[in-house]
C-alpha cells in the first residue's frame, strides 16, 4: 500500500524561485504532483516508482525517456480509405463539380453520359472523402489518446499534445487524416528536441502548408497568412515585428508547397531577391527567416512562457518568463534543459502551482483512466464525442491559435459536461449506446427514406417547406445536375463500409478490489482513500462527509466487509461524484 503522505504544497515563498528543490523536500505527494503536471497523472504504483527514484532520478527519467522501453506503442491501423485519385482534392464541392463540367471527370469518377443528375457520382465522391477523412481522423485521435495513457514516456506525449495545440491545424480544413497522422508523428519525434528545428519542420509540414495557404504564396503575389501566423502565434507574439516584416517574411516563404505528403520548393515561384526582415537584409528563404526569428529574445520568452503555462500554472510573472526564456536561449532552444529546470525548481512545488492548473479535456480523460486503474480508453462512451462535449476535439482545434486553455476550459456548460462524461465512463449506457461513426449525423433519416423506396427527390424533401432556409430551398431544386444532400448521406455510407470499426468496450476497472486492496474497512476510509487517490486538492469537509453519508446509505452499512459482494455500483456512483467536484478539475 502506498505511503499516504498528506497534501504538501511548498511555501508561498518558493513561488518564482527556480533554484532546485532540496532533496529532503522530496516525498510521495511531490512525486504525484510532478506526474500530474509533467504527464497525465499516475496510478499509486507509478507514483511510488517516481518517488523511489528521488527528485533528480525522477526528472531525468521523465525528461530523458528515449531508452525506456515503450512496449504498448502500436502503429495506427489504417482503414484504407485513400487512393491516389484523391490527391489534389478540391477545396470545395463547387470546385469538384466545376472540374467535372470541364473535364467530364473529377477525383477519378466520370459524370454520367445521360439521365437525371449526371454529376451525382462526382458529388458523392466529394462527400465520400469528406466523411472518410473525418471518420478516420476520429479513429486517429482515439488511437493517440490511448498512446497518452499507455506510454511509458508521459512527457513525450504531453509535449506532443502541447505542440499540436501550439502549431495548430485542423482536419476540418486540411481534409486529409494522413497529413494529420504525419503531424502527430512529428510532434512525438520532436516533442522535447530543439524547438527551432521543430518550427522549421512545421513550416515544411504538408498539413501546415495547406492550412495556411502556402500553395498560394508565390513570387510576385505573396500570401501573408503563413508568415504572419509563424511570427504572431508560433514564435514571437504580436508587438515584436512590423507589417513590413510580415510582407518580407511572406516573400521568403514563396515557392514552398507540398506534393501529397512531401515538402517541395518550386524555384520558379520562389522570390530569391533581397528582403529586409527584422532589421537584417539578405536573399533570405524560409529557413533563414525562421533562424532570424529565433535570434530574437522575444521568441525564447514567448515559447518558454507557453510551455510553462501548459505544464505548470496559468499565471506567470514577466520576470519569471524572462528567466525561463534565458534558460531556453542559453541552451540553444533545446527543450530538455528547460523542462528539467522547471520540474526541479522550488517554484514548481510551491503553493502557487499546487492546484494551479486546470486540466484540458483530453488530459482529463487520460487522467480519469489512471485514477480508475483502466488500461485503455473505453469505446463506450465514444472518446471523441466525450472530449468534444468537454470542449476539445483532438486534431480539430478551433483555429490556428489552438485552444486557449486555462480558465477557458471551464464554463458552466463545459463544467457540467465533465461530470456527465465521468458518469458515462463509470456507469456507461451500454444498452442505449449508438456508435456515432455509423449514424450519418442528421442525414440518417435520408437512408431510412431511400430504403423505404422513396426516390432521391422525395427522400430529400422536407415535410414543412415553410421551415426551410433559402439555402435549403436552393439545394433542393428538382431539375438538378446533382443533389448534395443525398451525397452527404451516400458519402458517409461508402466511408463507413470500409471503416475499421472502433471496439465498443466499456472501461475495465474494479473499484471494489481497489478499495479492499487499500486496506479500507469502513465507508469513511473508502472515501478517504478514493479522494486521496483521485484528487490533488483535498475535498471540503462538508463534501467529504456527504460522500461518506451517500456511500453508507447506498450500501446499507458502513462496514465494507459486509458490503464487498455488492458494492461496485455504489462505489462507481461515488467516484462519479468525486470526479464532478471542482477540485477534480485542477491539479
Partner 1 sequence: MPGRNRSDDSGVSRRDMMRLGAGGLGFGLFGGVGPVPFVFSQASRATSATLSNKILVVFEWFGGNDGLNTIVPYGDAMYYKHRPTIGIKEKDLLKIDAQFGWHKSMRGMKTLYDEGKVAIVQGVGYDRPSFSHFTSMSFWHTAAPNSGNEYGWIGRTASALDPAGARPNMIVNISDSQTLAVKAEKHVPLVFTDPAKFQRDVFAQEKRVVDVLPAQETPVGDAHKYVLEVTRSAAQASEVVRAAWSRYTGRNNPDLRLLDLDKVAALIEADFPTKLYYVPLRGSLFDTHVNQASPHDRQLEYCSDAIAGFFQEMHRIGRADDVVMYVHSEFGRRVPENTSLGTDHGTAQVNFVIGNAVKGGLYGKAPSLSNLVLGDNLESTVDFRQVYATLIQGWLDADAASVLGQRFDTLPMFRV
Which residues 344-363 are close enough to bind partner 1 by CB under 8 A? 351-352, 354-358
> 204 vs 208, 345, 458, CA distance in Å?
7, 35, 48
Per CB under 8 A, contacts with partner 1 among 465-484 are 467-472
Residue ranges of alpha helices (H) inside 463-522 are: 470-475, 484-498, 511-517
- Cβ closest to partner 1, residue 75 vs residue 432: 432
**CA–CA gap between residue 21 and residue 55 (Å, rounded):** 8
Residue 559 β-bridge partners: 522
Per CB under 8 A, contacts with partner 1 among 202-221 are 213, 216, 218, 220-221
Taking CB under 8 A as the criterion, the residue among 83, 259, 295, 315 binding partner 1 is 315
Applying CB under 8 A, does 316 fall inside the site for partner 1? Answer: no
What three-state secondary structure class fits 218?
Answer: strand
- Check if the beta carbon of residue 523 is closer than 8 Å to that of residue 552: yes
Task: Work out how close the CB of 411 gets to partner 1 at its nearest, in angstroms, rounded to a whole number.
Answer: 4
- Cβ closest to partner 1, residue 70 vs residue 317: 317
Task: Work out how close the CB of 415 gets to partner 1 at its nearest, in angstroms, rounded to a whole number.
Answer: 5
Number of residues that bind partner 1 (CB under 8 A): 79
For residue 575, the number of C-alpha atoms closer than 13 Å in the C-beta half-sphere is: 30
Nearest residue to 205 via CA among 178, 172, 238: 178
**CA–CA gap between residue 149 and residue 72 (Å, rounded):** 10
Residue 501 corresponds to which cell in the numbers above? 470499426
Taking CB under 8 A as the criterion, the residue among 441, 501, 553, 556 binding partner 1 is 553
The mark string for 519-538 relative to partner 1 (x by CB under 8 A, - otherwise) is: ------------------x-
* Beta-sheet pairing, 105-106 with 109-110: antiparallel
Q: Which secondary-structure segment (H or E) carries 22? A: none
- Cβ closest to partner 1, residue 208 vs residue 499: 208
**CA–CA gap between residue 555 and residue 426 (Å, rounded):** 18
Taking CB under 8 A as the criterion, the residue among 53, 265, 415, 524 binding partner 1 is 415
- Cβ closest to partner 1, residue 82 vs residue 241: 241
Applying CB under 8 A, does 389 fall inside the site for partner 1? Answer: yes
Per CB under 8 A, contacts with partner 1 among 8-47 are 9
**CA–CA gap between residue 34 and residue 49 (Å, rounded):** 12
Applying CB under 8 A, does 385 fall inside the site for partner 1? Answer: no
Task: Work out how close the CB of 393 gets to partner 1 at its nearest, in angstroms, rounded to a whole number.
Answer: 10
- Cβ closest to partner 1, residue 61 vs residue 580: 580
Applying CB under 8 A, does 419 fall inside the site for partner 1? Answer: yes
Residue 258 β-bridge partners: 263
**CA–CA gap between residue 469 and residue 146 (Å, rounded):** 42
Per CB under 8 A, contacts with partner 1 among 183-202 are none
Taking CB under 8 A as the criterion, the residue among 134, 335, 417, 507 binding partner 1 is 417
Amino acid at each position: 500500500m502506498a505511503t499516504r503522505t498528506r497534501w504538501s504544497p511548498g511555501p508561498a515563498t518558493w513561488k518564482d524561485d527556480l533554484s532546485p528543490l532540496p532533496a529532503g523536500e522530496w516525498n510521495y505527494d511531490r512525486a504525484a504532483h510532478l506526474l500530474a503536471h509533467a504527464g497525465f497523472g499516475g496510478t499509486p504504483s507509478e507514483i511510488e516508482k517516481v518517488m523511489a527514484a528521488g527528485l533528480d532520478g525522477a526528472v531525468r527519467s521523465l525528461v530523458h525517456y528515449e531508452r525506456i522501453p515503450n512496449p504498448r506503442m502500436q502503429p495506427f491501423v489504417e482503414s484504407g480509405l485513400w487512393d491516389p485519385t484523391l490527391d489534389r482534392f478540391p477545396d470545395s464541392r463547387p470546385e469538384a463539380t466545376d472540374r467535372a463540367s470541364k473535364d467530364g471527370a473529377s477525383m477519378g469518377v466520370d459524370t454520367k453520359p445521360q439521365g437525371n443528375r449526371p454529376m451525382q457520382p462526382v458529388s458523392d465522391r466529394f462527400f465520400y472523402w469528406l466523411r472518410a477523412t473525418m471518420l478516420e481522423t476520429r479513429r486517429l485521435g482515439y488511437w493517440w489518446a490511448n498512446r497518452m495513457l499507455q506510454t511509458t514516456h508521459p512527457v513525450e506525449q504531453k509535449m506532443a499534445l502541447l505542440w499540436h495545440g501550439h502549431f495548430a491545424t485542423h482536419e476540418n480544413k486540411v481534409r486529409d487524416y494522413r497529413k494529420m497522422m504525419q503531424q502527430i508523428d512529428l510532434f512525438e519525434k520532436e516533442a522535447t528536441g530543439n524547438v527551432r528545428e521543430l518550427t522549421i519542420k512545421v513550416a515544411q509540414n504538408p498539413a501546415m502548408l495547406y492550412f495556411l495557404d502556402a500553395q498560394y504564396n508565390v513570387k510576385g503575389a505573396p500570401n501573408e497568412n503563413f508568415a504572419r501566423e509563424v511570427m504572431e502565434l508560433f514564435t514571437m507574439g504580436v508587438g515584436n515585428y512590423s507589417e513590413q516584416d510580415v510582407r518580407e517574411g511572406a516573400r521568403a516563404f514563396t515557392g514552398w508547397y507540398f506534393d501529397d505528403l512531401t515538402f517541395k520548393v518550386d524555384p520558379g515561384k520562389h522570390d530569391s531577391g533581397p528582403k529586409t526582415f527584422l532589421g537584417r537584409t539578405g536573399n533570405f528563404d524560409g529557413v533563414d527567416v525562421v533562424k532570424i526569428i529565433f535570434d530574437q529574445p522575444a521568441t525564447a520568452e514567448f515559447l518558454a512562457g507557453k510551455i510553462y503555462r501548459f505544464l505548470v500554472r496559468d499565471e506567470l510573472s514577466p520576470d519569471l518568463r524572462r528567466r525561463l526564456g534565458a534558460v531556453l536561449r542559453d541552451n540553444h532552444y533545446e527543450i530538455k534543459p528547460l523542462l528539467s529546470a522547471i520540474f526541479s525548481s522550488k517554484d514548481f512545488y510551491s503553493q502557487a502551482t499546487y492546484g494551479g492548473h486546470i486540466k484540458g479535456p483530453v488530459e482529463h480523460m487520460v487522467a480519469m483512466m489512471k485514477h480508475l486503474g483502466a488500461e485503455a480508453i473505453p469505446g463506450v462512451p465514444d472518446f471523441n464525442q466525450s472530449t468534444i462535449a468537454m470542449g476539445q476535439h483532438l486534431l480539430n482545434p478551433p483555429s490556428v491559435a489552438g485552444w486557449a486553455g486555462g480558465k477557458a476550459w471551464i464554463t458552466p456548460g463545459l463544467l457540467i459536461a465533465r461530470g456527465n462524461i465521468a458518469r458515462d465512463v463509470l456507469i456507461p449506457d451500454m444498452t442505449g449506446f449508438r456508435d456515432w461513426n455509423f449514424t450519418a449525423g442528421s442525414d440518417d433519416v435520408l437512408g431510412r427514406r431511400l430504403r423505404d423506396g422513396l426516390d432521391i427527390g422525395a427522400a430529400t424533401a422536407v415535410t414543412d417547406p415553410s421551415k426551410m432556409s433559402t439555402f435549403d430551398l436552393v439545394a433542393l431544386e428538382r431539375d438538378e445536375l446533382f443533389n448534395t444532400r443525398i451525397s452527404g448521406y451516400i458519402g458517409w455510407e461508402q466511408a463507413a463500409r470500409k471503416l475499421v470499426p472502433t471496439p465498443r468496450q466499456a472501461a475495465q476497472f474494479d473499484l471494489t478490489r481497489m478499495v479492499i486492496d487499500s486496506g479500507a474497512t469502513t465507508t469513511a476510509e473508502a472515501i478517504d482513500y478514493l479522494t486521496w487517490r483521485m484528487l490533488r486538492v483535498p475535498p471540503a469537509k462538508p463534501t467529504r462527509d456527504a460522500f461518506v453519508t451517500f456511500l453508507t446509505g447506498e450500501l446499507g452499512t458502513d462496514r465494507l466487509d459486509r458490503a464487498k459482494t455488492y458494492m461496485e455500483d455504489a462505489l462507481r456512483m461515488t467516484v462519479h461524484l468525486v470526479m464532478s467536484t471542482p477540485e477534480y478539475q485542477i491539479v
